[in-house]
Amino acid sequence: MPFELCGAEMDARTIEPPSSTILRIYADPLVRAGLEEILKSTRFVVSRDQAGDDVPCDLVVIDERYHATGLSDLITAMKTRHPATRVVVLADRFDLETVVAACLAGVDGFCLTTAGRDVLIHCFELVMLGEVILPSEMAFAAMTDGAGNGENPFLRRSQHPNGSSLGIPALSCREHEVLKALMRGLSNKRIANELEITEATVKVHVKTILRKIGVGNRTQAALWAADHLPGESAAQ
């Protein structure tokens, strides 16, 4: 499934964080202080270097009210500078136009400010695992609006990393990179070195890829990719 529900519907899956995550917050001082308090004793470490946009971090959290105008441009700029950085938008509520624009800009998730502490942290954890988090009402809209004619912006967003068509599981950009490395027969250690991530994170991505595409091992995943990802080859 290319997205998860953000709200009371979210399940209680246990996530084992592989390491600390450096997080940058774009919000007014009050919201920032609240998030810092919520994230104490978690793996999410809030960066104090708010002016260092050229310095990559693992996760960026943007308060939609803090960037009411130019939100999609900000997301696009961040993704252009640091493609591996995950971006989550917070808001009291989301309108369809804002969500669509942010999705097309490359956002990785949305979370309501009304969500509880555990839900918020769970959203961040899922985003770091490559899931796309949508507000529940937007997720339901994604399942119904425009699904038959290819005009659904949520489906286009989820398909973007691998250019797949309907019926092929959506993979995040990082999962796509790991899958291509599996096609080349690389070990977890070599994948970690190439992508500059930890071996533990590679293992998480491999496990997620196997689950999404419905195969049992790395070899089957490589064969699946050769059959289902047009234009990809082990030489890439």
Residue 219, domain CATH: 1.10.10.10
Q: What is the pLDDT of residue 169?
A: 63
Whether residue 229 is predicted with pLDDT greater than 80 in this model: the reply is no
Structural domain includes residue 153: no
Whether residue 35 is predicted with pLDDT greater than 90 in this model: the reply is yes
Q: Residues 16, 112: one domain?
A: yes
User: How far apart (Å, rounded) are the C-alpha atoms in residues 28 and 130?
Assistant: 27
Q: Residues 140, 183: one domain?
A: no
User: How far apart (Å, rounded) are the C-alpha atoms in residues 219 and 224?
Assistant: 9
List, for residues 193-219, the tens digit of each pLDDT value: 999 888 888 988 898 888 888 888 888
List, for residues 162-187, the tens digit of each pLDDT value: 444 334 566 777 888 898 899 888 89
Q: Residues 137, 170: one domain?
A: no
Higher-scoring residue by pLDDT: 184, 15? 184
pLDDT confidence band for 235 (50 / 70 / 90): very low
Q: Residues 186, 125: one domain?
A: no
List, for residues 119-146, the tens digit of each pLDDT value: 889 889 988 888 878 766 555 555 444 4
CA 178 to chain centre: 15
CB atoms within 10 A of CB 201: 20
